[in-house]
A and B are shown apart, each in its own frame.
Chain A
């Protein structure tokens, strides 16, 4: 939609905005640094809405929490858009001057009455209306989301539905208004920026654009395949088809982090050859033919990029242990072993090459990054200090660059349907003290740790006739596991939650479905249909 994949706004803007909508994001636990800025905003007087099936610790801070059904976000967003239009709260000047396809959007959302959206989402119409009026009338507003939006079979549509709202109200491209996908790890943003995406060159330059590709080929002195590569879900298919037979895994633990773990194991085991490069011997690495021990963050030189697009220097503090090497060194040695003349660049040399390739980073010399305490892209050359927020161009009159188009999207229910046989909706997520499959966080103790349990509402627990700590069998259409029950008031009856952190004890991805979004390749971790069976044996 806007071209580049990054949050439009800076952390300081959320501290000064009028309205914060946390939509499918439990940032309180999954991005506490960002949430600390949110709290400053709340303290400074911002109203806050939380849209989340669970009443999370983030939602507990909200003025209004909307407990939607898992996967019904588009119905909610479209109804909000319809209500804003119906009330004449949309920014007609902005729409006229800076956007395209408004009529298509208006026609699409017209079907999403408050009542219909209420039926789909489970949220009362009055609350949907309240959100619409708050967003439509706010002077400045930020919509922030995380995996609650993106870990669905229609992830991209979910994001588009939110972006449409920002275009409708002009809540983008202005200080204090914006769209903020909150990244779950310190350098997720940086990974994408560097071109670790199947269809992008560094700086989000389209790999299928001949001019851009040729520019890179000139700098790199090699041929770049002219078609976009495969995203991870397509790779899974290719493995199933036997087309993809060799896999090089860097810093990932797909055996445990991907949906439908049983199938994932079959896939990885069917490979002819697998290389794993990681700082720990992960479950995936144990399946690998070759393992490259890599250096950790304190053992490497380089940069991190935060959710506000701020590139910051990282400095090596200690040498990597044993045979572990810096990622750059491993890649260079590998290239040389393959017969290329590939001297190992320093981190700074690699960075300076990136600056040549990526127009977003051109002005970010190490000296300037250090002197300025980090720089927010885009920073095309050294005359630029970077940008606090993106898309200010949409407020130029006339808009001389490309207008931002509305992308109307329709609601589609989660793939894994709730039926009599599988009546309970399981959703997954992270907790404050743990990270993903626990490769990094499982190694230290935490007083807050909740080991792999299945969280249920106390009402569901009573109906099932189980006490806290008692084990139940959790069955999905793909697999089953046993887990102790934990009661959680943030859940309503019919909604269950498991964290993803303890794949060795309770591998939730045995249950999840690998239906995936054709546009982004993200799997639907957030919506699994399950049933619960008491097994009578106490956990303790």
Chain B
């Protein structure tokens, strides 16, 4: 850390915004500067500080960046590297409002390009955004008003897109009978802004029950439940929590991974927006069980409503003295980086760095955020864990199949009649899920289904009979992944879909591993050449090139992004989907 500070100065508003995060500047008249250890100890507040100035002015000016760097003793070059890593920090733009139009694969089916065209016609500048997690009400835009903050609007039409109106998540988007559900049972029933409403519905009873049981008994129940993580890796939760509990040292962390960025995934958003107190209760349970004293809920930057409601839920829970005496919980907001859903990248992001994944081992239970033992689970998993303690491990294990226990949420979107989050038990088939969502839209036939989002695989009609379990999907060569299920109608041209997926990975690669950094670009280039009928060499040469890229990215990237960046493209080519070079 050798500071070579920039000479730009912040505006009064920018200074105030940063001071609100970092505390008032203790430095006096250019005569005394408090830095060193106390400044470095605040390094993890770099992203919150950047958010603060971005929120205040709509951009991160050089003056604001210089001031943040001065306060945190971070070299400007490094802070600039962090700011530019995250899509939602605008270091080049002029101050003012901004619009982000989702043009990802689901919104594209619902007219995202019409929105862009409408904005182009008006001469309104906008950002194209990857999936905003509003696939159940596509097409979506996110907009930012300096001084007010972020909001999302969905669905929007070309007439209103330039003047989007903030849209509080309407309750009750669940299309199922709530009384039969567990994870979604409170959605639209409990007031997400009221702890009293949550407690009337039995909230925080599980936590007090856990406190009576003690941590070891909680872990026993989790083990008995055979609950496995819902984030994609399906790791047994009892073992993970036990690992954190048994980890050495007094300083431990637990993290709720709410950085739900996989295209076509929005279940965690629904839970955070509609049942935020349950997320908080689950985190208090997590802290109590593992002995962690600090928890974080890392929320996608594109989920402003979820963030606001979680902050409120934490505030009310603490005020009601329900959090636990030696546990504090904090919301951290992402800033537009898919990679930060990867747990080690998420740690780096909380620490105030570029969201670059780390090599594992060491695993998080041993060395996670700030290099300390850390438990991290996604939102759905945490609510499932809460449910385990509520009903007992054995009862939970009785739901679903032997290997895949409990209820499971799926995000059904695309060409279906009723897109939304659906709660089923493991073992339900894909076809049954499609029926729940009302079948293919407009009475069309099914073309294909993309399971697990951009990092997932395409499947055709033959997958409809496969039971949705970890084991059955693996055998069938599909995946449950993030729980994203995007349907495509018959006669869809998959060329643009693959192009969007390829662009997504090219944009979102953190750039750390060469195979992924270069491979995602080369993959997109090859697909572009094929789509425009100008292959380099023969079409076969290009296919072989794509296969080679897939192999090297899968084998030689350290994290899941690079390892799955070719998965959808490869599966589409295998299936010979329309518009895909065969």
Measured CB to CB, the residues of A under 8 A from B are: 28, 42, 47-48, 55, 57, 59-68, 122-124, 126-127, 458, 487, 489, 492-493
Contacts and interface: CB of A to CB of B under 8 A. Distances in A.
A65 B3 contact: no
B36 A67 contact: no
A458 B3 CA distance: 17
B320 interface: no
Contacts of B31: 66-68, 122-124, 127, 492
Given A63-B37, A64-B36, A66-B31, 10 more contacts: A28-B2, A61-B35, A62-B35, A64-B34, A65-B32, A124-B32, A127-B28, A458-B7, A489-B5, A492-B31
A63 B73 contact: no
12 contacts: A57-B3, A59-B33, A60-B2, A61-B1, A61-B35, A62-B36, A64-B36, A67-B33, A124-B29, A458-B7, A492-B30, A492-B31
Nearest to A61: B36
Contact of A64 (B2, B3, B7, B32): B32
Contacts of B35: 60-65
A55 B33 contact: yes
B11 interface: no
Nearest to B4: A57
A481 to B, nearest CB: 24
B403 interface: no
B125 interface: no
Interface of B: 1-3, 5-7, 28-38, 73
A76 to B, nearest CB: 12
Contacts of A67: 30-33
A48 B5 contact: no
A362 B31 CA distance: 48
A64 B29 CA distance: 14
A476 B57 CA distance: 45
Contact of B2 (A48, A57, A124, A489): A57
B402 to A, nearest CB: 51
Contacts of B5: 489
A157 to B, nearest CB: 23
Given A57-B2, A60-B2, A60-B73, A65 B7 contact: no
A62 B37 CA distance: 8
B42 to A, nearest CB: 13
A127 B30 contact: no
Contacts of A492: 30-31
A64 B36 CA distance: 7
Contacts of B37: 42, 47, 63
B28 A124 contact: yes
B36 A48 contact: yes
Contact of B34 (A61, A63, A122): A63
A492 B37 CA distance: 23
B482 to A, nearest CB: 40
In the A-B complex, list the 5 residue pairs whose CB atoms are closest, starting with the nearest: A63-B36, A492-B30, A60-B3, A127-B32, A67-B31
Contacts of A55: 33
B174 to A, nearest CB: 53
A67 B6 CA distance: 19
B404 to A, nearest CB: 48
Contacts of A489: 5-7
A124 B35 CA distance: 16
Nearest to A56: B3
B127 to A, nearest CB: 33
Nearest to A489: B5
B371 to A, nearest CB: 14
Contacts of A493: 30
A57 B3 CA distance: 7
A66 B38 CA distance: 16
B422 to A, nearest CB: 52
Given A28-B2, A57-B2, A489-B7, A63 B32 contact: no
A63 B36 CA distance: 4
Nearest to A493: B30
A67 B30 CA distance: 7
Nearest to B75: A60
B4 to A, nearest CB: 8
Contacts of A62: 33, 35-36
A55 B3 CA distance: 10
Contacts of B34: 63-64
Q: Counting chain A CB atoms within 10 Å of each CB, which of B1, B36, B38, B73 scores highest? A: B36
Contacts of A123: 31-32
Contacts of A126: 28, 32
A449 to B, nearest CB: 14
B10 to A, nearest CB: 13
A126 B32 CA distance: 10
A458 B7 CA distance: 7
Contacts of A124: 28-29, 31-32
Contacts of A122: 31
B28 A42 contact: no
Nearest to A65: B33
Q: Counting chain A CB atoms within 10 Å of each CB, which of B1, B28, B29, B35 scores highest? A: B35
A66 B31 CA distance: 6
Nearest to B33: A65
A42 B32 contact: no
A22 B6 CA distance: 24
Contacts of A42: 36-37
A424 to B, nearest CB: 15
Nearest to B9: A458
Nearest to A488: B7
Nearest to A58: B2
A55 B35 CA distance: 11
B74 to A, nearest CB: 11
B480 to A, nearest CB: 45
Q: Counting chain A CB atoms within 10 Å of each CB, which of B32, B35, B38 scores highest? A: B32
A115 to B, nearest CB: 15
Contacts of A66: 31-32
Nearest to A128: B32
A165 to B, nearest CB: 19
Nearest to B70: A489
A123 B31 CA distance: 6
A62 B7 CA distance: 20
A65 B28 CA distance: 10
Contacts of B38: 63
Contact of A487 (B7, B32, B36, B73): B7
Contacts of A61: 1, 35-36
Contacts of B33: 55, 59, 62, 64-65, 67
A458 B66 CA distance: 14
A274 to B, nearest CB: 42
A46 to B, nearest CB: 9
A454 to B, nearest CB: 16
Contacts of B3: 57, 60
Nearest to B39: A63
Nearest to A39: B1
B529 to A, nearest CB: 41
B248 to A, nearest CB: 20
Given A47-B37, A458-B7, A489-B7, A60 B1 contact: yes
A20 to B, nearest CB: 10
A64 B27 CA distance: 9
Q: Counting chain B CB atoms within 10 Å of each CB, which of A28, A61, A66, A126 scores highest? A: A61
A387 to B, nearest CB: 31
B461 to A, nearest CB: 61
B418 to A, nearest CB: 58
A135 to B, nearest CB: 16
Contacts of B6: 489
Contacts of B7: 458, 487, 489
A252 B2 CA distance: 32
B23 to A, nearest CB: 16
A377 to B, nearest CB: 33
A16 to B, nearest CB: 17
B37 to A, nearest CB: 5
A215 B379 CA distance: 85
Nearest to A47: B37
